[in-house]
């Protein structure tokens, strides 16, 4: 609707459309000489008889009716074509012969036996979330997320990664809840900075609750992110803590490469092509006077990446091209073909939980925020390849579950070895109960020469 007089006037240079639902004027910038932005321009174009209609691909935005066909060809909501290589890798497991499937499982067991790695339960918590965990207003879904965040912070505290003089980089930040709780835990800390990395625009962000001068969003795909090009890090050379809650599939591998292969050597003169320009929310920064954990002078012993704490997720979305454990797979006689089968077989580990998880997502509708947080996990469960088709009657449900868990462990162990070979003390552990999250494995790492690695 047009601007009501009682509500004041729009900001100079901003759209004059009053958004009734938000009780404020639209903040978009209209074209030169226009009063309204493109979305609300129908009011200014009535004299030209141009009509705006909801986009058939996504009714949340509108388009001029006479430009519909042109818009449909470039709309961000259109179905994107899948790469040919991806289509080639999606041969159904059910098409394998009995002998081929047995050979694949035999290779999996042989590789798993060679690593002989056992996950331990390390479920921790942190006092910063005690009040929220005991708040009766929070529903089941919200409590589950809070328990995960509390355990992640507990692991960070145990590794002495919570303190002054650091930059926390949250990969796949979404609404930024994990960084929010780290900020709460560090309310007395000085000289800290947060970089929230997310390639998509995000609704219901909690950015408004943050300390304005130390939070910055980077809207960029992780594979295009060079941390040593981010102004605050290039200038101040803060020790970085890489964090993430449910960093899906290939995003975990891209995050590890980003930390270990770019920012870990910020003073290397050999530089590749510059990463894509970042969309940032500018933040004011204060000089680093701390050096609490690491000496920020440029010495042979200084490691720019002080720690990594990432909750793993969605192994079926991994990609051999970006997978950091390729070298490990080669040492156990495996390659891209086996990897592409194993990543899809990881869904067998949680197939039995599919209906239960969906029911939980559908029944817990206490508020919009909770539904948004649960949406990520609901999509993950819904996308699992749980349709087992015809497996020749070869495997029982329990055997499929065990094989799925072995596939997940094998993929994660490749990431573990990748970090170990690059000078990090890395550990995999179950950081929350399976009833809280089907994806309950946490990867942590600190530099080996650091005394924190043995604490």
For residue range 21-67, list pLDDT tens digits in order: 788 888 888 888 788 887 777 655 554 567 888 888 888 888 888 88
Q: Supply the pLDDT for residue 393.
A: 66
Residue 92 CB neighbour total at 10 angstroms = 11
- Looking up tokens 């705006």 gives 52
The pLDDT mean for the chain works out to 79
- What residue spans of 63-176 are helical by DSSP H? 68-74, 84-88, 98-115, 130-133, 140-158
pLDDT > 70: percent of the chain? 73
Determine if residue 303 is left, alpha or beta; phi over 0 gives left, psi from -120 to 50 gives alpha, anything else beta: beta
Least confident of 49-58, 352-361, 444-453: 352-361
Residue 303 binned pLDDT confidence (cut-offs 50, 70, 90):
low
For residue range 237-284, list pLDDT tens digits in order: 889 999 999 899 999 999 999 999 877 654 444 444 444 445 554 443
State yes or no: pLDDT of 335 exceeds 70.
Answer: yes
State yes or no: pLDDT of 307 exceeds 60.
Answer: yes
Q: Report pTM.
A: 0.70
Q: Supply the pLDDT for residue 373.
A: 42
Q: Which helix (H) or strand (E) covers residue 446, if one does? A: strand 441-447
For residue range 103-112, list pLDDT tens digits in order: 999 999 999 9
HEC sequence for 310-334: EEEECHHHCCCCCCCCHHHHHHCCC
CA distance 229 to 263: 9
């Amino acid at each position: 609707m047009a601007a009501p007089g009682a509500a004041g006037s729009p900001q100079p240079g901003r759209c004059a459309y009053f958004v009734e639902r938000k009780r404020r004027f639209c903040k978009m910038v209209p074209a030169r000489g226009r009063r309204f932005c493109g979305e609300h321009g129908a009011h200014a174009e009535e004299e030209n008889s141009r009509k705006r209609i909801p986009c058939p691909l996504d009714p949340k935005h509108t388009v001029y009716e006479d430009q519909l066909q042109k818009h449909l060809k470039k709309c961000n909501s259109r179905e994107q074509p899948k790469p040919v290589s991806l289509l080639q890798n999606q041969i159904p497991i059910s098409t394998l012969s009995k002998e081929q499937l047995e050979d694949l499982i035999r290779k999996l067991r042989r590789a798993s036996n060679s690593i002989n790695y056992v996950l331990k339960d390390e479920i921790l918590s942190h006092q910063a979330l005690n009040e929220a965990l005991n708040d009766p207003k929070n529903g089941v879904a919200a409590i589950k997320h809070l328990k995960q965040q509390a355990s992640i912070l507990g692991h960070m505290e145990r590794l002495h990664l919570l303190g002054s003089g650091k930059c926390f980089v949250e990969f796949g930040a979404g609404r930024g809840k994990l960084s929010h709780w780290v900020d709460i835990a560090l309310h007395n800390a000085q000289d800290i900075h947060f970089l929230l990395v997310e390639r998509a625009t995000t609704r219901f962000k909690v950015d408004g609750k943050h300390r304005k001068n130390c939070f910055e969003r980077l809207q960029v795909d992780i594979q295009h992110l060079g941390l040593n090009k981010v102004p605050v890090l290039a200038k101040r050379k803060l020790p970085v803590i890489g964090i993430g809650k449910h960093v899906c599939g290939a995003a975990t591998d891209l995050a590890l490469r980003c930390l270990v292969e770019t920012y870990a050597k910020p003073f290397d003169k050999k530089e590749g092509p510059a990463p894509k320009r970042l969309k940032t929310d500018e933040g004011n920064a204060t000089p680093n006077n701390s050096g609490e954990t690491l000496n920020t002078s440029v010495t042979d012993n200084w490691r720019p990446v002080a720690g990594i704490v990432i909750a793993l997720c969605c192994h079926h979305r991994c990609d051999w091209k970006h997978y950091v454990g390729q070298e490990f797979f080669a040492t156990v006689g495996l390659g891209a073909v086996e990897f592409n089968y194993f990543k899809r077989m990881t869904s067998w580990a949680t197939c039995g939980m599919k209906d239960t998880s969906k029911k939980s997502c559908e029944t817990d509708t206490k508020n919009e925020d909770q539904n948004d947080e649960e949406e990520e996990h609901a999509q993950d469960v819904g996308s699992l390849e749980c349709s087992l088709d015809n497996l020749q009657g070869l495997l029982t449900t329990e055997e499929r579950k065990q094989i799925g868990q072995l596939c997940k462990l094998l993929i994660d162990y490749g990431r573990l070895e990748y970090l170990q070979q690059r000078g990090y003390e890395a550990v995999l552990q179950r950081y929350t109960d399976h009833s809280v999250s089907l994806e309950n494995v946490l990867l942590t790492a600190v530099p080996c020469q650091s005394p924190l690695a043995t604490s």
